Amino acid sequence: MSERKVFGGGDFLVGDIAKEDIFIPEDFNNEQKMVGKAALDFVNKELADHAEEIERKNESNVREWFAKAGELGLNASDIPEEYGGEGMDKISACLVSEAMGRAHSFAVSHSCQTGIGSLPIYLFGTEEQKKKFLPKLATGEYIGAYCLTEAGAGSDALNATATATLSEDGTHYLLNGEKIFITNGAWADIFTVFAKVDGEKFTGFILEKGFEGLSTGAEEDKLGIKGSSTVSVIMKDCKVPVENLLFTIGAGHKIAFNVLNIGRYKLGATALGAQKGAMGLAIKYANERVQFGKKINTFGMIRNKLAQMAIKTYMTESIVFRLAAAIDDKMNTLDDEARKNGEEIAKAIEEYSVECAIAKVFGSEVLDYCVDELVQIYGGNGYIAEYPAERAYRDSRINRIFEGTNEINRLVITGNILKTTMKGKLPLMEAVGRGMKEIESINPAEFSIDSKLALQNQMLNNAKLLFLLTVNTVTQKLLETLKDDQEVIEQLAEIIIELFAMESGLLRASKVLESKGEKKAELHLTAVKAYFAETLPKLAVLAKNVLAFAETGDPLKKLMSEVEKLSNVPQENVIGLKRQIADRVIKSRKYPF
């Protein structure tokens, strides 16, 4: 297999990506498949049927599960072997996260352990800190927590008021403050805590269970994820040795924001696993439940729900593993020295901050869609706690808040695209120039539906042109005030998210078509056709909303006509396409791809 081209963050907006240059789930090698199977076997054996036991939050049980996961290497996918980890590629690490997505609220505990609970030390710790803490986090002997949020510092994390003051003898810091909503807090042995040195310099510290002046509050009574520990962490003149300062004074933001990038794409993978789990429950119930003398899987509206769940999950899966491989490819460009340097690793991942945010937003919102339809398929039973739909519905909701709210992530998506453009790292305005000329030459009468994906390729191109048309007007008319026009930022982000999803799904289907033939690719093609048919009109509406805010009069009329031209494509038989997918879903009794 030839090497994939390494793309920069946001490149999907400004050029054509070849199918050969992206990774798809059908490309998993044997080692990756074995990792995914081992993780899913662990979840199915130890956790999947023990939701109520998980929700009792018995610490001895939690430590036992972490220890068993540690024996399988599932706590340390990103930690290098020299520190007791597995050093997995990002694709394998996402397969572990996907499997854990079916582990009810233990998924949250485990995600914290393998992500924000350990990665700050791996990426930014000293050699001594890594050797001291990482091996025990890898085995599960230690449980990790991450303490960033405060009552007045949620999305605005740098507004923290926790302080750190160096002692007169220079041997330790005294930390004061309270952190809230701390996952794993009641069980944690290691806490990554952020505080301001001298009340000004935002800095990371490693706190250890038993430190003088460190305590935790009562468990929060939460809407969902009841099996995870969520407490406040309180520091009253908490004595922290100077050797436990993490990275450098005043650089806590680098730790916090770079670790969030990793957490975001992994949350997309975890959400993917939960989507597949919700689909499995929905299919099983629909195949068994009888109403009006028929199984409800024969009713068109139920079948449509199952099809839509499968299509959206397909797009999530395409996004997650495309991104994981892109990060792997970027990491492989680093020399041996850089690959040992956590800051260099973080920079490589930061390259894809937009795509990480997309994976988080798309995955969490598709999961919410799936569990909402799961409850609806269960009907009244879906609202009753003894049935699994109710728990899945409650557990899902937090994902749109975790790792930066989806609102913050949408600001990141649009903001970072514009920032990289202004810095000359993304040739967006050159693409705008080419796009404006191309729009003039487009003739909708030339579009046609065929048995493959020619129309969808044209639709993706048109969708990108819609974005370029819109961003061109925004940069000309609104750039100076854009930071205050959050509604515009949000709708631009929505277009960007959908472009990445559309392209990921289309390239995947195209690659399967080429490698396996039309018969085996049929379901892929069907999913992509149905998704595109419903998504391009949505993008046209978003573009119109932004353009109508930015422009008026004759210029607006011209823009509207260009939007109409770009979105005027032949209509697919979406109902028929979804019926085909529903047939396969019901027959296979699971996510069918």
> Is 73 found in the same domain as 112?
yes
Q: How many structural domains comprise the chain?
A: 3
Would you call 517 helix, strand, or coil by DSSP? coil
CATH code at position 479: 1.20.140.10
Quick check: is 90 in a domain?
yes
Would you call 407 helix, strand, or coil by DSSP? helix
Would you call 192 helix, strand, or coil by DSSP? strand
What pLDDT is attached to residue 151? 96
CATH code at position 40: 1.10.540.10
How far apart (Å, rounded) are the C-alpha atoms in residues 398 and 510? 34
How far apart (Å, rounded) are the C-alpha atoms in residues 456 and 531? 10
Task: Write out the two tokens for 382.
Answer: 């879906």
Q: Residue 122: what residue type?
A: Y
C-beta separation of 455 from 463 below 8 A? no
Quick check: is 85 in a domain?
yes
User: Average pLDDT for consecutive 10-residue bins of the chain (593 residues)?
Assistant: 84 96 98 98 97 97 98 96 96 98 98 96 96 98 97 90 97 98 98 97 98 98 98 98 97 93 96 98 98 98 98 98 97 89 88 98 98 98 97 98 96 97 96 96 79 92 98 96 96 98 98 96 98 98 98 98 96 97 97 97
Task: Write out the two tokens for 273.
Answer: 């696993």
> Is 508 found in the same domain as 584?
yes
* Radius of gyration in angstroms for the set of CA atoms belonging to the chain, rounded to a whole number: 24
How far apart (Å, rounded) are the C-alpha atoms in residues 96 and 428? 35
Is 403 one of the annotated active-site residues of the chain? yes
Quick check: is 457 in a domain?
yes
> Is 159 found in the same domain as 29?
no
> Is 581 found in the same domain as 494?
yes
How far apart (Å, rounded) are the C-alpha atoms in residues 189 and 113? 11
| 197 φ/ψ sector (left φ>0, alpha ψ -120 to 50, else beta) | beta
Task: Write out the two tokens for 402.
Answer: 């975790």
Backbone φ and ψ of 378, nearest 5°: -70, -20
> Is 38 found in the same domain as 17?
yes
> Is 581 found in the same domain as 442?
yes
Q: List own/partner pairs for 286-293 with CB under 8 A and 24 or more apart.
A: 286/377, 286/586, 287/586, 287/589
Q: Which one of 142, 170, 194 terminates a domain?
A: 142
C-beta separation of 278 from 370 below 8 A? yes
Q: Which one of 100, 119, 142 terminates a domain?
A: 142
> Is 152 found in the same domain as 175?
yes
> Is 438 found in the same domain as 543?
yes
Quick check: is 195 in a domain?
yes
Task: Write out the two tokens for 85.
Answer: 């980890």
Would you call 162 helix, strand, or coil by DSSP? coil
Quick check: is 89 in a domain?
yes
Task: Write out the two tokens for 441.
Answer: 């030459």
Backbone φ and ψ of 295, nearest 5°: -65, 140
Task: Write out the two tokens for 153.
Answer: 């510092």
> Is 166 found in the same domain as 124?
no
Q: Which one of 222, 246, 270 terminates a domain?
A: 246
Task: Write out the two tokens for 175.
Answer: 């930390």
Quick check: is 381 in a domain?
no
> Is 579 found in the same domain as 454?
yes
Quick check: is 593 in a domain?
no
Residue 108 CA from chain centroid, whole number: 14
Task: Write out the two tokens for 199.
Answer: 């009340």
Pairing state of beta strands 190-197 and 294-295? Answer: unpaired
Quick check: is 163 in a domain?
yes
CATH code at position 169: 2.40.110.10
Catalytic residue chosen out of the listed positions 317, 355, 403, 562: 403
C-beta separation of 182 from 143 below 8 A? no
Note the pTM of the prediction, 2 decimals. 0.97
> Is 228 found in the same domain as 83?
no
Structural domain containing residue 493:
427-588
How far apart (Å, rounded) are the C-alpha atoms in residues 192 and 174? 15
> Is 230 found in the same domain as 124?
no
Would you call 150 helix, strand, or coil by DSSP? strand
What pLDDT is attached to residue 1? 45
